[in-house]
Structure 1
């Protein structure tokens, strides 16, 4: 049997830990906290006996101690007694006067005497204006109240209190901590960064400060600095915290990593793992994703690939989407964490929503009421499932996310009237369903880019290495999608990067594209006529010699006014076949394939073996195009006595019906689902040609497509070596 190879190409016609990052309201230990009930009341009796027979400063100090003992019982009736004693202790000049004032206001806040609590915290700052602790206490009060319904005005008031604290004492670390947290809550990331840096001046090992610094850098789109700050924070964090940040625990499941395993990890590596567990496993057998993900190294690589697929700037050394995820974790912890209860904000239902979908576009808070105006909710954009149960005597909090990618609402309720929010039943189902379909939703910064981006690649044998060529085209459009002309005053910046299997960047290039790279100008430079019937586009390519292995190509294209788009390709560069075995390169689909004249002014990128070739990465042709060109190389063809090869080449086009998915490249294709187009197929019988300097045959062909109606097609190329042995 003669050696035969088939190539397929698709073308188309149009360690330590911390409790939480949130502000703590933890009080110093109360006197009596470690006593038994009998011991506590015995001490109360003895101190009250002394209290009745003293006056002045000593009496005020005793009142402070008795109030602490009553508060340590944690009974409501004793809190009221404690407030009476504290009223007397606050205004006397004794050592515990400040703590008495703080304890009085804090007790009122716990009892939900909010107006009294605020008044007493403000009074504390008036009595002790030079003490930063008084302003910190007021800031903590406002921050705690703001967290109840994410009240931006209250967060702003907390910020002002913390600002007064740092003005009173610039070395007071709790003041800088509270100021940084308040500013992150307000999404005021510039000042938050400054406050985090100030905190580090006084507490260099403060893990929370590094976290807030990282989140602030992300908010300012300073991604390299953000990565360094988060690296410092995570190096100081516990394994449990690192598992959430670095491994996506609780947010990225094995199901989300399945596609990363299938197309992003070197197949030979997966085969080795499968063979270790299933000795009979062979090439082409179905890979058990759950089994290979049990390998820690594979899971970490799959997670990296998952984040790569989310990233809109894939050529960068840092992953912006992962950093945005980390920033959201910090925000969730600041807004919903409870340091006193050792509860991380991302473990709460609202915190998980923040991490997955960001902050809501708008919120509605409804106090307990017998009637809710659902029509008004709908008018304002609330989108809740029809089966949502809306209780009438509970606090209601509605979050709505509205973007081109998603529009939905979440309902949280509170029957305690104390901001102990829980997700309503259908909201729980909504959150689970959306998390299963898409772990996280990010703003797409390429959605408004005023150009399209198409990328393709082809691999060619060059001795032990492979020459891999990457092609990119950009079609300029306005904000309505209409084609526009190129303005050389603002070229497009193209950044190429190639990463190996260990995610080390092994190559990086920058290019500026001007109008000389427009397909129309390149076509005319080759001496051909540009019809102008189709939208023009910029064209560029990158070539690299790569050893066999697994690689990722990333490309980012941007300009100040046209925005940004990114794309990436995962590529497996195969090893060379045994000597004498027929091999073909990938196919390159092109709009032009003509002999090259050295006098022609065209970039060398588009010249290959004395031919000028203009690839079409999108695989698209206009309705007026009559011919599609295809370029490929054949290796190890046998030669006759005159060192000439002797082979057959056939081209056949198949129409892809709607609903049928086909791979872009590959030697295996089920043609039974495709519609063969007759008489479009062409066969060149018994072709004879010499060899290129590298010892392979260079081949270009023309395929007539003028009679094809719009749609998707597969071009099948078959080479038969007539001199090969059976």
Structure 2
């Protein structure tokens, strides 16, 4: 049984000349039908009217306007060029507008509207019931009522004026402004500014580092940012949630009765001004200061890890206020406050303006009837002051004032100015411990040995003044860490955990240290002279056992950190790295997803989710995660992710810089599978960057992974095939041990020879990465990265993720002239042995053909799906020819292109088995019109004429034979066309065609021409040697293989032993005489009147035959039937020479085919 797929495809060539045309055309349409408008450049003004037709009026500069369709679907299309059009449509139509640089204006529409542009402004007025706008850089302005609005933009500004509308807007860097009346609103941006001024039922706003301004009347609000500032005001809130990681939150409003306000920040300050209608207020920060002004609080919960808290106002008679922080607390209350107080401080002082003195760090007292409750728990100072005016009460001392001023300085102020601010505090009060602590943290950021010494002195003074302060103890561990004393730092963190078991940072740092050791000593060996009497008797020692023990402890402490603080991101990252290095990418994916539940849209969690999915082979999921991560990144971060400086050659970098499409061309050229909508090599690049940042980063030195030698090498070459670590000899006396400057940053070793069990660095440790034919050697200074000192300067290395399932499909791509274009008749064979049937016995296939120019600009793409029943019947009586056909599926396509140079790519993937058949060629398609030309020779298993005298290609039925393989019992058909034949003064053409079958040259033979060839690791030339020797008859070098078996093609440079044996076999089998008897059957040409030098029966029993033709056309066609019953098995070459007798011009064509017995 034969399966033939025939798909006719059209590619419209480039317009060679542009002329402006005025248009005014109409097309009947239904009241609510579809209207598809596609204009690449220019403008479209869409107007809704009560008529039942589509009218197009305007100017077109380029290809002609196409207006076609039926009542249900109307198409308005300008293929290329520029157009300025006004399009009137039935007002209830469903309209889709597409373009590149296209301005769109829409009015009086009542139906559904979708607009897709790259750039160009989009303006919509009146009230479509649904509006969707997708743009990259175009501005969007919508004024609608009662519609559902969806807007997606990369850079363009979005302005919405709405009434009774649901809106969903997302941008990357574009600003968003919303006014009016919302039912529900979803607004997202990575770095754009966002402003919402509206009446609303519910609003959700999220931003990366852009500011958010919110002015609402009523409803619910959910606002979150990473580093952007939040400014919110309004009234009658039912519920509000406001969250920022490092940005400031300012709020001035009040909820409805029984409402609830929640504010959460990490390092940003929270400033609230809430009137007396407030009900529930919840505020939490990590280090950010909290300042609240308000009256008649019903219930308030305020919590901060180390931020200072100020409350100005009063609590209602039945209300309650609860404050917990390690920082200081100031309560500024009216003289007539009526409350019961419980105030405790574990290390600070308590000052009470209402007269009652504290006892043992606790203060309990009442004022008035004591109906309200105020509960304060702090590790620092607490002041309870009487508010005598509307202005805040000043802190108790000059040092307090100066300290508050210094803490208010943000990161935009230089480090030196911030240092001077805290020095002023100490000049006012040398015993002010928090100022010493802040000085130490700032000195550490300078990252020099001198400043680290100053930090140590300042921190010791803070701990002397406040010895029980846990925060100071944690900072001392951090200082030891950046000094490189990792063992001492670990001990310090353990002391912290003794007094504060839930301290997430201390647990994390211990886990990180254990993981560094585990990774550092994995795959490590060294020559231990302490185990022998000299180097010759030394003992080789492996460290894998120690590495595994450290991995176990690392996992325990990292898990403990996550349990203590579920939002502590670094603990998730390091535990994910641990799982990845342990060969468990599925666990990396799980850990990253857990973090995303705690910190939604965390870009690093998304990035590492992509890495985990990619390692699991889940490419679609990886693409989704990487895309989401890029959307959360800043411009600088995205630029780093997209940079190819490490992997591109000088020539490629120059091409990338040439225009805006350069980077896309770069990745297209490396794409191993065009059936997918993404480049797997691009995903691999993202994955390498993600791994480099996860594995080789040094956050304590503010160095990301790609900036290290190991990180940049990993990005360039990918994962190593093997790795080995070696460290210096142990037998050296300690006095002779001289570590390099970089090695002094190492932590102490807690195992090994006793002389090195303290804080001593090691000398001479190296790590080697092995690749196919080169290696990289690094000098190690810590467990996370090393300095490259031995590099072969190889070009960037990428592997094909599909190399294990890919095979080269036998194919034919024959080019024929067709008016001003070229018709490519493409056929390829799919071996059934590569296809896996589903439960119904069918193969589910993805089939795609792609065309690019030589610069990898896409000119054609067509991907289809097919379900083909695979026959399971066996017929013992079938002929070899039947078996040959039955074991392959045949795919046939016709493509029309403009003349030019192209890259033609075909791909077919079986969904069930995963096998991917492919071919790729780069060639010129085109014919001159001034001299004799000929088409390609198309081999076929069957050609028959549907008319007595065929005059065109469509008069013939041709079944191509893409695997070029025939049996001796079946004919070989060849089809060709001739162009530009010269006619004499009587209008007659006269030409001859010489046919010859002979042996090919050895460099012409490729197994992929005749059978599927597997790609194990890539593409190389596989040599087959053909020689001539009259004493031997030709034999088929593939005769020992079944006709559906594939040949393995090895990609490693050089010739493998298997390849050598196969080539030697081919040399022996292909010794053939240069000529032998062959039978030709020449059909009568449709344009010929005389056939000379050929017997009347049309048969010639010679190796070479010349047929002469006379006709009346400039272009002619013919086909040849070759009887190969006497041709020996083997590979043969059919050569044709066409000779125009009027001009003497000649053209040659040839094709290889295979005969099996």
> Same fold judged by TM-score > 0.5?
yes
Instruction: Give the Å deviation of 1:589.
Output: 2.7
Q: Residue 316 of structure 1 is aligned with which of 669, 672, 676?
A: 676
Instruction: Give the Å deviation of 1:558.
Output: 3.0
TM-score, normalised via structure 2 length: 0.42
The 3-state SS of whatever aligns with 2:976 is: strand
1:121 and 2:493 correspond = yes
Instruction: Give the Å deviation of 1:369.
Output: 1.0
**Relative to total residues, which structure has the larger helix share, 1 or 2?**
1
- Rg bigger for which structure? 2
Question: What is the CA RMSD across the aligned residues, in angstroms?
Answer: 5.7
Structure 1 residue runs without a partner (length 5+): 1-14, 19-25, 51-57, 258-289, 373-391, 599-606, 666-673
Kept in 2: contact 1:631–1:699 (CA 8 A): yes
Where does residue 845 of structure 2 map in the other structure? 493
Moved more, 607-616 or 77-86: 77-86
> Can you list the C-alpha shifts for 1:191-216, whole angstroms capped at 9, x where unaligned?
54455456556766754344334334
Residues 1:543 and 1:536: Cα distance change in structure 2 (over 3 Å): closer
Kept in 2: contact 1:452–1:476 (CA 8 A): no
Instruction: Give the Å deviation of 1:109.
Output: 3.1
**Relative to total residues, which structure has the larger strand share, 1 or 2?**
2
The 3-state SS of whatever aligns with 1:316 is: coil
The 3-state SS of whatever aligns with 1:360 is: coil
Where does residue 457 of structure 1 map in the other structure? 813
Kept in 1: contact 2:946–2:955 (CA 8 A): no
1:356 and 2:700 correspond = no
For 1:120 and 1:610, the matched residues in 2 are separated by 88
> Can you list the C-alpha shifts for 1:6-43, whole angstroms capped at 9, x where unaligned?
xxxxxxxxx8899xxxxxxx9x9999974999999999
Residues 1:399 and 1:418: Cα distance change in structure 2 (over 3 Å): closer
Instruction: Give the Å deviation of 1:394.
Output: 0.8
Instruction: Give the Å deviation of 1:615.
Output: 0.9
> Can you list the C-alpha shifts for 1:121-172, whole angstroms capped at 9, x where unaligned?
3443453344544444445444555565676875675555444444344455
Instruction: Give the Å deviation of 1:687.
Output: 3.8
Instruction: Give the Å deviation of 1:702.
Output: 2.3
Kept in 1: contact 2:697–2:784 (CA 8 A): no
Moved more, 28-37 or 139-148: 28-37
The 3-state SS of whatever aligns with 2:828 is: strand
1:630 and 2:971 correspond = no
Kept in 2: contact 1:247–1:303 (CA 8 A): no
For 2:466 and 2:919, the matched residues in 1 are separated by 65
Where does residue 227 of structure 1 map in the other structure? 623
Kept in 2: contact 1:47–1:62 (CA 8 A): no
Q: Residue 567 of structure 1 is aligned with which of 901, 916, 919?
A: 919
1:398 and 2:768 correspond = yes
Residues 1:354 and 1:155: Cα distance change in structure 2 (over 3 Å): farther
Instruction: Give the Å deviation of 1:496.
Output: 1.7
1:472 and 2:828 correspond = yes
The 3-state SS of whatever aligns with 2:670 is: helix
Instruction: Give the Å deviation of 1:316.
Output: 1.8
Instruction: Give the Å deviation of 1:101.
Output: 2.5
Where does residue 247 of structure 2 map in the other structure? none
1:539 and 2:889 correspond = yes
Where does residue 962 of structure 2 map in the other structure? 616
Instruction: Give the Å deviation of 1:514.
Output: 5.2
The 3-state SS of whatever aligns with 1:296 is: coil
Relative contact order, CA 8 A, sep 6+: which one is greater?
A: 1
1:109 and 2:481 correspond = yes
For 1:490 and 1:370, the matched residues in 2 are separated by 65
Kept in 2: contact 1:513–1:538 (CA 8 A): no
TM-score, normalised via structure 1 length: 0.63
1:447 and 2:447 correspond = no
Counting only pairs closer than 5 Å after superposition, residues 521-532 of structure 1 correspond to structure 2 as 529-530=879-880
Residues 1:104 and 1:686: Cα distance change in structure 2 (over 3 Å): same
Instruction: Give the Å deviation of 1:331.
Output: 0.7
Instruction: Give the Å deviation of 1:540.
Output: 1.6
For 1:322 and 1:371, the matched residues in 2 are separated by 48
Where does residue 719 of structure 1 map in the other structure? 1138
1:686 and 2:1030 correspond = no
Q: Residue 506 of structure 1 is aligned with which of 861, 868, 879?
A: 861
Question: For this pair of structures, how many residues does the alignment match?
Answer: 589
Where does residue 54 of structure 2 map in the other structure? none
The 3-state SS of whatever aligns with 1:327 is: helix
Counting only pairs closer than 5 Å after superposition, residues 243-642 of structure 1 correspond to structure 2 as 245-246=641-642, 248-255=644-651, 295-296=658-659, 299-300=662-663, 302-308=665-671, 311=672, 313-369=673-729, 393-401=763-771, 406=772, 408-414=774-780, 421-425=786-790, 428-429=791-792, 432=793, 434-435=794-795, 439-442=796-799, 444-447=801-804, 453-475=809-831, 489=841, 491=843, 493-499=845-851, 502-503=857-858, 506-513=861-868, 515=870, 529-530=879-880, 537-548=887-898, 550=902, 552-558=904-910, 560-561=912-913, 563-570=915-922, 573-574=925-926, 578=929, 583-590=933-940, 592-593=941-942, 595=944, 609-611=955-957, 613-617=959-963, 619=964, 628-635=972-979
Where does residue 650 of structure 1 map in the other structure? 994
Instruction: Give the Å deviation of 1:322.
Output: 1.8
